[in-house]
Structure 1
Protein backbone atom coordinates (compact mmCIF):
# COMPACT_ATOMS: atom_id res chain seq x y z
CA UNK A 1 0.00 0.00 0.00
CA UNK A 2 1.35 3.41 -0.94
CA UNK A 3 1.46 6.39 1.40
CA UNK A 4 2.49 9.98 0.92
CA UNK A 5 5.79 10.87 2.59
CA UNK A 6 7.69 14.15 2.92
CA UNK A 7 6.70 16.65 0.26
CA UNK A 8 6.96 20.31 -0.63
CA UNK A 9 6.23 22.56 -3.56
CA UNK A 10 7.01 26.11 -4.60
CA UNK A 11 8.18 28.60 -7.18
CA UNK A 12 11.78 28.18 -8.26
CA UNK A 13 14.16 30.83 -9.57
CA UNK A 14 12.13 34.02 -9.59
CA UNK A 15 14.47 36.69 -10.94
CA UNK A 16 13.87 40.10 -9.41
CA UNK A 17 15.89 43.27 -9.96
CA UNK A 18 15.23 46.15 -7.56
CA UNK A 19 16.51 49.65 -8.31
CA UNK A 20 16.86 52.37 -5.70
CA UNK A 21 16.35 55.74 -7.43
CA UNK A 22 16.11 57.90 -4.32
CA UNK A 23 19.24 59.82 -5.31
CA UNK A 24 21.05 60.43 -8.63
CA UNK A 25 23.49 57.72 -7.54
CA UNK A 26 21.37 54.61 -8.07
CA UNK A 27 21.69 51.24 -6.33
CA UNK A 28 20.84 47.86 -7.83
CA UNK A 29 19.93 44.52 -6.25
CA UNK A 30 19.70 41.47 -8.50
CA UNK A 31 18.26 38.32 -6.90
CA UNK A 32 17.19 34.82 -7.85
CA UNK A 33 14.60 33.59 -5.32
CA UNK A 34 13.32 30.02 -4.85
CA UNK A 35 10.49 29.22 -2.43
CA UNK A 36 9.36 25.82 -1.14
CA UNK A 37 6.30 25.32 1.09
CA UNK A 38 5.17 22.32 3.13
CA UNK A 39 2.24 21.57 5.43
CA UNK A 40 -1.26 20.11 5.23
CA UNK A 41 -1.04 19.09 1.60
CA UNK A 42 -2.19 15.48 1.66
CA UNK A 43 -5.52 16.07 -0.09
CA UNK A 44 -4.00 17.85 -3.07
CA UNK A 45 -1.79 14.82 -3.69
CA UNK A 46 -4.40 12.14 -3.07
CA UNK A 47 -7.55 13.70 -4.54
CA UNK A 48 -6.48 16.87 -6.32
CA UNK A 49 -8.20 19.11 -3.76
CA UNK A 50 -6.44 22.48 -4.15
CA UNK A 51 -8.10 24.23 -1.21
CA UNK A 52 -4.85 24.23 0.81
CA UNK A 53 -2.61 25.29 -2.05
CA UNK A 54 -1.04 28.73 -2.34
CA UNK A 55 -0.41 28.85 -6.11
CA UNK A 56 3.21 29.09 -7.16
CA UNK A 57 2.22 32.06 -9.30
CA UNK A 58 1.08 33.82 -6.11
CA UNK A 59 4.44 33.05 -4.56
CA UNK A 60 6.19 34.66 -7.54
CA UNK A 61 3.99 37.75 -7.32
CA UNK A 62 4.69 38.05 -3.60
CA UNK A 63 8.42 38.21 -4.28
CA UNK A 64 7.91 41.18 -6.59
CA UNK A 65 5.44 42.88 -4.26
CA UNK A 66 7.79 42.55 -1.29
CA UNK A 67 10.66 43.87 -3.40
CA UNK A 68 8.65 47.07 -3.94
CA UNK A 69 9.18 47.92 -0.25
CA UNK A 70 12.92 47.51 -0.74
CA UNK A 71 15.59 44.83 -0.34
CA UNK A 72 17.94 45.61 2.52
CA UNK A 73 19.80 42.38 3.29
CA UNK A 74 19.11 39.21 1.32
CA UNK A 75 18.70 37.30 4.58
CA UNK A 76 16.06 39.66 5.98
CA UNK A 77 14.23 39.69 2.64
CA UNK A 78 14.11 35.88 2.76
CA UNK A 79 12.92 35.95 6.36
CA UNK A 80 10.06 38.29 5.40
CA UNK A 81 8.95 35.93 2.67
CA UNK A 82 9.20 32.75 4.75
CA UNK A 83 7.29 34.22 7.69
CA UNK A 84 4.61 35.62 5.40
CA UNK A 85 3.70 32.28 3.83
CA UNK A 86 3.62 30.34 7.10
CA UNK A 87 1.95 33.02 9.24
CA UNK A 88 -0.58 34.08 6.58
CA UNK A 89 -1.86 30.67 5.43
CA UNK A 90 -3.03 28.09 8.01
CA UNK A 91 -2.38 24.98 5.86
CA UNK A 92 1.25 26.02 5.32
CA UNK A 93 3.43 24.89 8.24
CA UNK A 94 6.92 25.37 6.84
CA UNK A 95 8.73 27.49 4.32
CA UNK A 96 12.23 27.54 2.94
CA UNK A 97 13.62 30.33 0.82
CA UNK A 98 16.84 30.13 -1.16
CA UNK A 99 18.34 33.32 -2.52
CA UNK A 100 21.22 34.02 -4.87
CA UNK A 101 22.44 37.60 -5.25
CA UNK A 102 24.43 38.68 -8.29
CA UNK A 103 26.88 41.51 -7.74
CA UNK A 104 27.03 44.40 -10.19
CA UNK A 105 30.14 46.58 -10.17
CA UNK A 106 29.53 50.31 -10.27
CA UNK A 107 31.02 52.14 -13.26
CA UNK A 108 29.03 55.37 -12.87
CA UNK A 109 26.24 56.97 -10.86
CA UNK A 110 23.67 54.88 -12.72
CA UNK A 111 25.91 52.52 -14.71
CA UNK A 112 26.93 49.01 -13.73
CA UNK A 113 28.97 46.10 -15.07
CA UNK A 114 28.78 42.37 -14.40
CA UNK A 115 30.80 39.69 -16.12
CA UNK A 116 29.38 36.28 -16.93
CA UNK A 117 29.76 33.67 -14.20
CA UNK A 118 31.77 34.59 -11.16
CA UNK A 119 30.97 34.83 -7.49
CA UNK A 120 27.41 34.72 -6.17
CA UNK A 121 26.20 35.55 -2.66
CA UNK A 122 23.76 32.99 -1.24
CA UNK A 123 21.32 32.66 1.64
CA UNK A 124 18.94 29.99 2.90
CA UNK A 125 16.01 30.62 5.23
CA UNK A 126 13.92 28.01 7.02
CA UNK A 127 10.82 28.77 9.09
CA UNK A 128 8.38 26.39 10.80
CA UNK A 129 6.05 28.89 12.43
CA UNK A 130 8.16 29.11 15.60
CA UNK A 131 11.83 29.04 14.75
CA UNK A 132 13.64 30.65 11.84
CA UNK A 133 17.04 29.37 10.73
CA UNK A 134 19.42 31.39 8.60
CA UNK A 135 22.47 30.29 6.68
CA UNK A 136 24.45 32.27 4.17
CA UNK A 137 27.42 31.88 1.94
CA UNK A 138 28.84 32.21 -1.52
CA UNK A 139 29.58 30.08 -4.54
CA UNK A 140 32.08 30.20 -7.39
CA UNK A 141 34.56 32.46 -5.60
CA UNK A 142 37.62 31.96 -7.81
CA UNK A 143 40.91 31.85 -5.90
CA UNK A 144 44.42 30.97 -7.03
CA UNK A 145 47.81 30.75 -5.33
CA UNK A 146 50.70 30.68 -7.81
CA UNK A 147 52.98 28.98 -5.26
CA UNK A 148 53.11 27.92 -1.58
CA UNK A 149 51.34 24.66 -2.37
CA UNK A 150 52.69 21.13 -2.65
CA UNK A 151 51.33 17.61 -2.81
CA UNK A 152 53.51 14.72 -1.65
CA UNK A 153 53.41 11.56 0.46
CA UNK A 154 50.14 10.16 -0.89
CA UNK A 155 49.30 6.49 -1.50
CA UNK A 156 50.74 5.10 -4.73
CA UNK A 157 49.81 1.93 -6.57
CA UNK A 158 50.18 0.54 -10.10
CA UNK A 159 47.61 3.05 -11.39
CA UNK A 160 49.35 6.11 -9.98
CA UNK A 161 50.94 8.38 -12.57
CA UNK A 162 50.74 11.72 -10.75
CA UNK A 163 54.23 12.89 -9.78
CA UNK A 164 54.84 14.46 -6.39
CA UNK A 165 55.39 18.20 -6.43
CA UNK A 166 56.88 20.67 -3.98
CA UNK A 167 55.60 23.69 -5.86
CA UNK A 168 52.29 23.89 -7.71
CA UNK A 169 49.48 26.25 -8.60
CA UNK A 170 46.54 25.81 -6.24
CA UNK A 171 43.27 27.07 -7.72
CA UNK A 172 39.65 26.54 -6.74
CA UNK A 173 36.14 27.95 -7.00
CA UNK A 174 34.95 28.12 -3.40
CA UNK A 175 31.38 27.31 -2.49
CA UNK A 176 30.75 27.90 1.21
CA UNK A 177 27.70 27.88 3.46
CA UNK A 178 27.79 29.01 7.06
CA UNK A 179 25.02 28.68 9.64
CA UNK A 180 24.12 31.57 11.92
CA UNK A 181 23.13 31.04 15.54
CA UNK A 182 20.57 33.86 15.34
CA UNK A 183 18.06 35.31 12.88
CA UNK A 184 18.60 38.81 14.26
CA UNK A 185 22.02 40.25 13.46
CA UNK A 186 23.86 42.45 11.00
CA UNK A 187 23.98 39.97 8.13
CA UNK A 188 25.80 42.36 5.80
CA UNK A 189 28.66 42.77 8.26
CA UNK A 190 28.75 39.06 9.05
CA UNK A 191 28.86 38.15 5.36
CA UNK A 192 31.68 40.60 4.68
CA UNK A 193 33.69 39.26 7.63
CA UNK A 194 33.15 35.64 6.61
CA UNK A 195 34.02 36.30 2.98
CA UNK A 196 37.16 38.15 4.05
CA UNK A 197 38.12 35.22 6.26
CA UNK A 198 37.73 32.77 3.36
CA UNK A 199 40.06 34.81 1.17
CA UNK A 200 42.60 35.50 3.93
CA UNK A 201 42.81 31.85 4.95
CA UNK A 202 43.36 30.74 1.35
CA UNK A 203 46.08 33.34 0.85
CA UNK A 204 47.82 32.75 4.19
CA UNK A 205 47.89 28.94 4.24
CA UNK A 206 50.96 27.14 2.95
CA UNK A 207 49.02 24.23 1.54
CA UNK A 208 50.15 20.63 1.81
CA UNK A 209 46.74 19.51 0.51
CA UNK A 210 43.47 21.13 -0.48
CA UNK A 211 41.91 19.35 2.52
CA UNK A 212 44.26 21.28 4.81
CA UNK A 213 43.26 24.51 3.07
CA UNK A 214 39.57 23.65 3.53
CA UNK A 215 40.01 23.21 7.27
CA UNK A 216 42.01 26.44 7.52
CA UNK A 217 39.20 28.33 5.76
CA UNK A 218 36.52 26.89 8.05
CA UNK A 219 38.59 27.59 11.14
CA UNK A 220 39.22 31.20 10.06
CA UNK A 221 35.52 31.87 9.38
CA UNK A 222 34.54 30.55 12.83
CA UNK A 223 37.17 32.76 14.41
CA UNK A 224 36.16 35.86 12.45
CA UNK A 225 32.39 35.60 12.90
CA UNK A 226 31.26 34.56 16.41
CA UNK A 227 27.66 34.22 15.23
CA UNK A 228 28.57 31.34 12.90
CA UNK A 229 28.18 27.82 14.29
CA UNK A 230 29.48 25.79 11.36
CA UNK A 231 30.91 26.16 7.86
CA UNK A 232 30.42 23.72 4.97
CA UNK A 233 32.83 23.99 2.07
CA UNK A 234 33.10 22.57 -1.42
CA UNK A 235 36.45 23.12 -3.13
CA UNK A 236 36.99 21.79 -6.65
CA UNK A 237 40.67 21.47 -7.46
CA UNK A 238 41.14 23.51 -10.63
CA UNK A 239 44.16 21.59 -11.89
CA UNK A 240 47.01 23.43 -13.62
CA UNK A 241 49.54 21.09 -15.20
CA UNK A 242 53.01 22.19 -16.33
CA UNK A 243 53.00 21.83 -20.09
CA UNK A 244 55.75 19.80 -21.73
CA UNK A 245 57.63 22.14 -24.08
CA UNK A 246 60.56 19.79 -24.63
CA UNK A 247 59.31 18.69 -28.12
CA UNK A 248 59.94 22.29 -29.16
CA UNK A 249 63.41 22.48 -27.64
CA UNK A 250 62.18 24.68 -24.79
CA UNK A 251 62.38 24.26 -21.05
CA UNK A 252 59.45 25.08 -18.79
CA UNK A 253 60.50 26.01 -15.24
CA UNK A 254 56.95 26.35 -13.96
CA UNK A 255 55.95 29.14 -16.33
CA UNK A 256 53.42 27.67 -18.82
CA UNK A 257 50.45 25.57 -17.69
CA UNK A 258 47.50 23.71 -19.12
CA UNK A 259 44.43 24.77 -17.13
CA UNK A 260 42.39 21.56 -17.18
CA UNK A 261 38.59 21.81 -17.13
CA UNK A 262 37.63 18.27 -16.14
CA UNK A 263 37.87 15.86 -14.52
CA UNK A 264 38.77 17.59 -11.27
CA UNK A 265 39.29 16.68 -7.64
CA UNK A 266 36.44 17.75 -5.37
CA UNK A 267 37.20 18.32 -1.71
CA UNK A 268 34.25 18.84 0.67
CA UNK A 269 33.86 19.10 4.42
CA UNK A 270 32.20 20.84 7.35
CA UNK A 271 33.99 22.60 10.20
CA UNK A 272 32.05 23.14 13.44
CA UNK A 273 32.67 24.83 16.75
Structure 2
Protein backbone atom coordinates (compact mmCIF):
# COMPACT_ATOMS: atom_id res chain seq x y z
CA UNK A 1 0.00 0.00 0.00
CA UNK A 2 1.50 3.30 -1.06
CA UNK A 3 2.24 5.86 1.62
CA UNK A 4 1.71 9.46 0.52
CA UNK A 5 3.68 12.08 2.44
CA UNK A 6 1.80 15.11 3.68
CA UNK A 7 3.26 18.62 3.41
CA UNK A 8 4.81 19.72 6.67
CA UNK A 9 2.77 22.19 8.66
CA UNK A 10 4.59 25.45 9.33
CA UNK A 11 5.90 25.86 12.86
CA UNK A 12 5.53 29.34 14.27
CA UNK A 13 7.00 31.03 17.32
CA UNK A 14 4.44 32.00 19.92
CA UNK A 15 4.48 34.40 22.83
CA UNK A 16 7.93 34.71 24.39
CA UNK A 17 9.91 36.82 26.83
CA UNK A 18 13.28 36.81 28.51
CA UNK A 19 15.05 38.61 31.32
CA UNK A 20 16.88 38.25 34.61
CA UNK A 21 14.88 36.86 37.52
CA UNK A 22 15.25 37.48 41.24
CA UNK A 23 17.83 40.24 41.41
CA UNK A 24 18.27 40.84 45.15
CA UNK A 25 19.05 44.50 45.73
CA UNK A 26 19.34 46.18 49.13
CA UNK A 27 19.46 49.98 49.16
CA UNK A 28 20.68 51.70 52.34
CA UNK A 29 19.88 55.40 52.62
CA UNK A 30 22.07 57.16 55.17
CA UNK A 31 20.36 60.14 56.77
CA UNK A 32 23.08 61.13 59.21
CA UNK A 33 23.19 58.53 61.96
CA UNK A 34 19.76 57.20 60.91
CA UNK A 35 19.72 54.63 58.14
CA UNK A 36 16.79 53.36 56.07
CA UNK A 37 16.55 50.04 54.21
CA UNK A 38 14.72 48.95 51.08
CA UNK A 39 15.16 45.22 50.42
CA UNK A 40 13.79 44.08 47.04
CA UNK A 41 13.75 40.97 44.87
CA UNK A 42 13.38 42.28 41.30
CA UNK A 43 12.55 40.16 38.23
CA UNK A 44 12.79 41.70 34.75
CA UNK A 45 10.96 40.21 31.76
CA UNK A 46 11.23 41.73 28.27
CA UNK A 47 9.51 40.96 24.96
CA UNK A 48 9.44 42.45 21.48
CA UNK A 49 11.36 41.87 18.24
CA UNK A 50 12.85 38.56 19.31
CA UNK A 51 11.84 36.19 16.50
CA UNK A 52 15.26 35.90 14.88
CA UNK A 53 17.11 34.96 18.05
CA UNK A 54 14.78 31.95 18.29
CA UNK A 55 14.85 31.02 14.60
CA UNK A 56 18.53 31.51 13.77
CA UNK A 57 20.26 32.31 17.04
CA UNK A 58 21.10 35.87 16.00
CA UNK A 59 21.48 38.08 19.08
CA UNK A 60 21.32 41.35 17.11
CA UNK A 61 18.18 42.53 18.95
CA UNK A 62 18.93 40.97 22.35
CA UNK A 63 19.87 43.07 25.34
CA UNK A 64 21.80 40.63 27.58
CA UNK A 65 20.06 39.55 30.74
CA UNK A 66 23.27 40.44 32.57
CA UNK A 67 22.73 44.03 31.43
CA UNK A 68 19.23 44.03 32.89
CA UNK A 69 20.72 42.86 36.19
CA UNK A 70 23.28 45.66 36.11
CA UNK A 71 20.53 48.18 35.36
CA UNK A 72 18.63 47.17 38.50
CA UNK A 73 21.65 47.91 40.69
CA UNK A 74 22.60 51.09 38.84
CA UNK A 75 19.06 52.46 39.13
CA UNK A 76 19.07 51.69 42.87
CA UNK A 77 21.95 54.18 43.08
CA UNK A 78 20.77 56.72 40.47
CA UNK A 79 17.10 56.93 41.46
CA UNK A 80 17.08 55.44 44.94
CA UNK A 81 14.09 53.32 45.97
CA UNK A 82 11.22 55.47 47.20
CA UNK A 83 8.76 52.60 46.68
CA UNK A 84 8.68 49.26 44.93
CA UNK A 85 6.17 50.66 42.43
CA UNK A 86 8.15 53.77 41.53
CA UNK A 87 11.40 51.80 41.17
CA UNK A 88 9.71 49.29 38.85
CA UNK A 89 8.18 52.13 36.81
CA UNK A 90 11.64 53.63 36.24
CA UNK A 91 12.96 50.26 35.08
CA UNK A 92 10.03 49.45 32.77
CA UNK A 93 10.16 52.86 31.10
CA UNK A 94 13.92 52.59 30.61
CA UNK A 95 13.89 49.22 28.90
CA UNK A 96 11.06 50.06 26.49
CA UNK A 97 12.25 53.54 25.55
CA UNK A 98 15.99 52.85 25.32
CA UNK A 99 15.90 49.73 23.12
CA UNK A 100 14.10 49.72 19.77
CA UNK A 101 13.70 45.94 19.83
CA UNK A 102 12.00 45.87 23.24
CA UNK A 103 8.27 46.55 23.01
CA UNK A 104 7.08 45.48 26.43
CA UNK A 105 8.61 45.26 29.88
CA UNK A 106 7.19 43.50 32.93
CA UNK A 107 8.87 44.19 36.27
CA UNK A 108 7.94 42.06 39.27
CA UNK A 109 9.08 43.06 42.75
CA UNK A 110 8.91 41.40 46.13
CA UNK A 111 9.72 43.66 49.08
CA UNK A 112 10.92 42.40 52.45
CA UNK A 113 10.35 44.44 55.60
CA UNK A 114 12.98 45.26 58.22
CA UNK A 115 12.06 46.73 61.61
CA UNK A 116 14.40 49.05 63.46
CA UNK A 117 15.94 47.69 66.67
CA UNK A 118 15.60 50.18 69.51
CA UNK A 119 18.83 50.81 71.41
CA UNK A 120 19.18 51.23 75.17
CA UNK A 121 19.62 54.99 74.66
CA UNK A 122 16.34 55.17 72.74
CA UNK A 123 14.56 53.24 75.49
CA UNK A 124 15.78 55.77 78.04
CA UNK A 125 14.30 58.78 76.25
CA UNK A 126 13.88 60.64 72.95
CA UNK A 127 16.52 59.81 70.34
CA UNK A 128 19.17 62.46 69.90
CA UNK A 129 20.31 63.58 66.42
CA UNK A 130 23.60 61.68 66.69
CA UNK A 131 22.25 58.50 68.22
CA UNK A 132 23.07 55.52 65.96
CA UNK A 133 19.96 54.06 64.33
CA UNK A 134 21.37 51.49 61.98
CA UNK A 135 20.31 48.17 63.47
CA UNK A 136 17.40 46.16 62.05
CA UNK A 137 15.62 42.84 62.49
CA UNK A 138 13.92 41.09 59.58
CA UNK A 139 10.19 41.42 60.08
CA UNK A 140 7.89 38.44 60.16
CA UNK A 141 5.29 40.44 58.26
CA UNK A 142 3.91 39.57 54.86
CA UNK A 143 5.84 40.03 51.62
CA UNK A 144 4.83 43.10 49.64
CA UNK A 145 4.46 42.65 45.88
CA UNK A 146 4.15 44.75 42.75
CA UNK A 147 4.10 44.11 39.02
CA UNK A 148 4.57 46.92 36.50
CA UNK A 149 3.85 46.31 32.81
CA UNK A 150 4.61 48.91 30.11
CA UNK A 151 4.36 48.58 26.33
CA UNK A 152 5.41 52.07 25.30
CA UNK A 153 1.91 53.56 25.46
CA UNK A 154 -0.04 52.00 28.31
CA UNK A 155 0.74 51.03 31.89
CA UNK A 156 -0.64 48.39 34.21
CA UNK A 157 0.23 48.55 37.91
CA UNK A 158 -0.80 45.63 40.11
CA UNK A 159 0.38 45.53 43.71
CA UNK A 160 -0.42 43.27 46.61
CA UNK A 161 0.92 40.96 49.27
CA UNK A 162 1.32 37.32 50.22
CA UNK A 163 1.75 35.32 53.43
CA UNK A 164 -0.29 37.68 55.62
CA UNK A 165 -1.59 35.33 58.33
CA UNK A 166 -4.70 36.49 60.20
CA UNK A 167 -7.07 34.90 62.71
CA UNK A 168 -10.38 35.62 64.43
CA UNK A 169 -10.92 33.42 67.49
CA UNK A 170 -14.68 34.02 67.45
CA UNK A 171 -17.41 35.90 65.48
CA UNK A 172 -17.32 33.20 62.81
CA UNK A 173 -19.93 30.56 62.01
CA UNK A 174 -20.45 27.93 59.32
CA UNK A 175 -23.79 26.22 59.00
CA UNK A 176 -26.75 25.75 56.67
CA UNK A 177 -24.62 24.27 53.90
CA UNK A 178 -25.53 21.52 51.43
CA UNK A 179 -25.25 18.00 52.86
CA UNK A 180 -25.10 14.68 51.09
CA UNK A 181 -24.22 11.16 52.19
CA UNK A 182 -20.52 12.02 52.23
CA UNK A 183 -20.90 15.02 54.52
CA UNK A 184 -19.43 14.51 57.99
CA UNK A 185 -18.53 18.09 58.96
CA UNK A 186 -20.59 19.30 61.95
CA UNK A 187 -22.16 22.75 61.79
CA UNK A 188 -20.32 25.43 63.76
CA UNK A 189 -21.93 28.40 65.52
CA UNK A 190 -18.66 29.63 67.00
CA UNK A 191 -15.41 28.77 65.30
CA UNK A 192 -11.89 30.04 64.64
CA UNK A 193 -11.48 31.72 61.25
CA UNK A 194 -7.88 31.88 60.05
CA UNK A 195 -6.29 32.36 56.66
CA UNK A 196 -3.05 33.26 54.93
CA UNK A 197 -3.94 36.14 52.65
CA UNK A 198 -2.62 36.36 49.12
CA UNK A 199 -4.05 39.47 47.46
CA UNK A 200 -3.51 41.69 44.43
CA UNK A 201 -5.06 45.03 43.56
CA UNK A 202 -4.98 46.86 40.22
CA UNK A 203 -4.54 50.61 40.04
CA UNK A 204 -6.31 52.86 37.55
CA UNK A 205 -3.16 54.96 37.07
CA UNK A 206 -2.54 55.75 33.39
CA UNK A 207 1.07 56.94 33.54
CA UNK A 208 0.76 60.62 34.43
CA UNK A 209 3.46 61.16 37.06
CA UNK A 210 1.63 64.21 38.38
CA UNK A 211 -1.38 62.03 39.19
CA UNK A 212 0.50 59.03 40.56
CA UNK A 213 -0.66 57.78 43.96
CA UNK A 214 1.60 57.98 46.95
CA UNK A 215 2.58 54.34 46.52
CA UNK A 216 3.81 53.86 50.09
CA UNK A 217 0.71 55.40 51.66
CA UNK A 218 -1.54 53.50 49.26
CA UNK A 219 -0.04 50.18 50.31
CA UNK A 220 -0.27 50.88 54.04
CA UNK A 221 -3.85 52.18 53.79
CA UNK A 222 -4.96 49.28 51.60
CA UNK A 223 -3.43 46.82 54.03
CA UNK A 224 -5.16 48.60 56.92
CA UNK A 225 -8.58 48.42 55.25
CA UNK A 226 -8.03 44.74 54.45
CA UNK A 227 -7.22 43.96 58.08
CA UNK A 228 -10.06 46.05 59.49
CA UNK A 229 -12.59 44.36 57.22
CA UNK A 230 -11.34 40.96 58.36
CA UNK A 231 -11.54 41.94 62.03
CA UNK A 232 -14.87 43.77 61.85
CA UNK A 233 -16.86 41.26 59.78
CA UNK A 234 -19.06 38.82 61.69
CA UNK A 235 -18.40 35.97 59.31
CA UNK A 236 -20.90 33.38 58.19
CA UNK A 237 -18.47 32.17 55.51
CA UNK A 238 -14.94 32.91 54.38
CA UNK A 239 -16.44 34.00 51.05
CA UNK A 240 -18.38 36.71 52.85
CA UNK A 241 -15.23 37.91 54.61
CA UNK A 242 -13.30 37.95 51.34
CA UNK A 243 -15.96 40.11 49.69
CA UNK A 244 -16.04 42.56 52.61
CA UNK A 245 -12.24 42.89 52.47
CA UNK A 246 -12.26 43.66 48.74
CA UNK A 247 -15.30 45.94 48.93
CA UNK A 248 -13.79 48.01 51.73
CA UNK A 249 -10.62 48.57 49.69
CA UNK A 250 -12.63 49.62 46.62
CA UNK A 251 -14.82 51.93 48.74
CA UNK A 252 -11.90 53.68 50.46
CA UNK A 253 -9.14 53.74 47.83
CA UNK A 254 -10.16 55.64 44.70
CA UNK A 255 -6.93 54.67 42.91
CA UNK A 256 -7.86 50.95 42.92
CA UNK A 257 -10.41 49.37 40.55
CA UNK A 258 -9.92 45.64 41.12
CA UNK A 259 -8.98 43.38 44.02
CA UNK A 260 -8.39 39.63 43.88
CA UNK A 261 -7.85 37.38 46.89
CA UNK A 262 -6.80 33.78 47.34
CA UNK A 263 -7.61 32.67 50.88
CA UNK A 264 -6.74 29.19 52.14
CA UNK A 265 -8.95 28.29 55.07
CA UNK A 266 -6.57 27.45 57.91
CA UNK A 267 -8.81 24.93 59.64
CA UNK A 268 -8.82 24.70 63.43
CA UNK A 269 -10.74 21.71 64.74
CA UNK A 270 -11.87 21.32 68.33
CA UNK A 271 -10.03 18.45 70.02
CA UNK A 272 -12.18 15.76 71.63
CA UNK A 273 -11.10 15.79 75.28
CA UNK A 274 -13.95 13.63 76.62
CA UNK A 275 -11.76 10.47 76.72
CA UNK A 276 -9.74 12.28 79.39
CA UNK A 277 -12.76 13.40 81.36
CA UNK A 278 -12.33 17.00 80.20
CA UNK A 279 -14.74 19.47 78.62
CA UNK A 280 -13.47 21.46 75.65
CA UNK A 281 -15.32 24.76 75.81
CA UNK A 282 -13.88 26.20 72.55
CA UNK A 283 -10.44 26.34 74.11
CA UNK A 284 -8.20 23.63 72.63
CA UNK A 285 -7.88 23.18 68.86
CA UNK A 286 -5.93 21.08 66.39
CA UNK A 287 -4.44 23.30 63.67
CA UNK A 288 -4.57 21.32 60.42
CA UNK A 289 -2.21 22.38 57.65
CA UNK A 290 -3.72 20.19 54.87
CA UNK A 291 -5.97 19.56 53.15
CA UNK A 292 -7.48 23.03 53.29
CA UNK A 293 -10.38 24.87 51.74
CA UNK A 294 -9.29 27.44 49.15
CA UNK A 295 -11.52 30.46 48.59
CA UNK A 296 -10.75 32.78 45.65
CA UNK A 297 -12.64 35.70 44.10
CA UNK A 298 -12.32 39.10 42.44
CA UNK A 299 -14.05 42.27 43.67
CA UNK A 300 -14.48 45.08 41.12
CA UNK A 301 -15.43 48.72 41.03
CA UNK A 302 -18.74 49.06 39.19
CA UNK A 303 -18.16 49.36 35.45
CA UNK A 304 -14.63 47.90 35.51
CA UNK A 305 -13.50 44.60 34.05
CA UNK A 306 -11.33 41.93 35.65
CA UNK A 307 -7.72 41.82 34.45
CA UNK A 308 -5.85 40.21 37.33
CA UNK A 309 -5.14 36.53 36.50
CA UNK A 310 -7.30 33.95 38.22
CA UNK A 311 -4.14 32.12 39.32
CA UNK A 312 -2.22 34.63 41.43
CA UNK A 313 0.95 32.56 41.09
CA UNK A 314 1.06 33.85 37.50
CA UNK A 315 1.37 37.42 38.74
> Is TM > 0.5 for Structure 1 vs Structure 2?
yes
Task: Say which of 67, 89, 93 aligns to 1:79.
Answer: 89
Q: Deviations over 1:186-208 (max 9, x none)?
A: 11111111111100000000000
Q: Deviations over 1:122-148 (max 9, x none)?
A: 111000011121111111111100000
Equivalent position to 2:44, from 35, 42, 50: 35
Q: How many residues align?
A: 272
- The corresponding residue for 2:200 is 177
CA–CA separation in structure 1 for the residues paired with 2:281 and 2:138: 36
* TM-score, length-scaled by structure 2: 0.85
- Report SS of the residue matched to 1:21: strand
**CA displacement at 1:22 relative to structure 2:** 2.7
| Correspondence for 1:103 among 95, 104, 113 | 113
d(CA) in 2 for partners of 1:173 and 1:246? Answer: 31
1:113 aligns with 2:137: yes
Indicate which of 127, 144, 150 corresponds to 1:127.
Answer: 150
Q: Is residue 228 of structure 2 the alignment partner of residue 200 of structure 1?
A: yes
Map 1:149-188 to 2 at 5 A.
Answer: 149-182=172-205, 183=207, 184-188=212-216
Is the Cα–Cα contact under 8 Å of residues 115 and 139 in structure 2 kept in the other structure? no
Which structure 1 segments of 5+ residues have no match?
Answer: none
Query: What secondary structure sits across from 1:139 in the alignment?
Result: strand
Residues 88-139 of structure 1 show CA distances to partners (whole Å, capped at 9, x for unaligned) of 10000000001010011111311111256x4011111000011121111111
| Alignment-derived partner of residue 16 in structure 2 | 7
Query: Which range moves more in the overlay, 119-128 or 15-24?
Result: 15-24
Name the SS for the 1:250 alignment partner: coil
CA distance in 2, matches of 1:103, 1:152: 39
User: Based on CA coordinates, which of the two structures has the bigger radius of gyration?
Assistant: 2
Matches of 1:146 and 1:114, distance apart in 2: 27
CA distance in 2 between partners of 1:89 and 1:81 (Å): 12
The structure 2 residue matched to 1:231, chosen from 253, 259, 264, is 259
Could you tell me whether the CA contact under 8 Å between 2:117 and 2:135 is conserved in 1? yes
Cα distance in 2 for residues equivalent to 1:114 and 1:187: 22
Q: Given the alignment of the two structures, is residue 20 of structure 1 paired with residue 43 of structure 2, yes or no?
A: no
Please, which of 51, 57, 61 is the counterpart of residue 60 of structure 2? 51
Moved over 4 A (4+): none
Aligned to 2:313: none
Superposed CA RMSD: 1.0
> Residues 205-224 of structure 1: CA distance to partner in whole angstroms, max 9, x if unpaired?
00000000010000000011
| Secondary structure in 1 matching 2:188 | coil
